[in-house]
Amino acid sequence: MFNKEQSTELFDIGSPMENPTIYSWIVGSVNGLICLYSKIEETVLWNPAVKKSKKLPTLGAKYNLIPMGIFFYTKYGFGYDDSSDDYKALFIDHCCDSYNDEVSNMRIVVNIYSLRTDS
C-alpha cells in the first residue's frame, strides 16, 4: 500500500464536527464519504477530499429524554443502497425498562436517513 516513492507529508484536513474536542467515531465509510457520530448526538456525512460536510437531523432517541431506570443504547450503520442509488444512515435504538435486558421488555426503534431525499 505504501512505499518510499509515495509522499509521507502530513496535513490537517480539519474536522466537520461542530465541537471537534467532543469524542466522535466513524459509523461507516463508502466511496470516500464518511459518516461520523459524536457524543453530543451530532451525525455528519463528510467528504474530506472536497472538504464538504452535511449535518444530519437527529434521528436517534435523545439521551436526556430517557426516563431514569430505562436501559438504552443505540447501534449505528452507514452504507450505500444500489437499488435506489442512495447513501443511508441507520439508527437502531434499544430500550428496556430494567438493566436485566429481558427480551420481553425490549423496545426497538429503527430510523433511516436518506441522503437523496434529505429525510
Domain that holds residue 88: 24-114
- Give the per-residue pLDDT at 86: 97
pLDDT per residue of the chain (119 residues) written in tens, 0 to 9? 555 666 677 767 777 766 666 677 889 999 999 899 887 778 889 998 888 889 988 765 555 455 555 667 788 899 999 999 999 999 888 777 665 555 556 778 888 999 999 98
- Total number of residues shown for the chain: 119
91 lies in a domain? yes
- Report the number of distinct structural domains present in the chain: 1
84 lies in a domain? yes
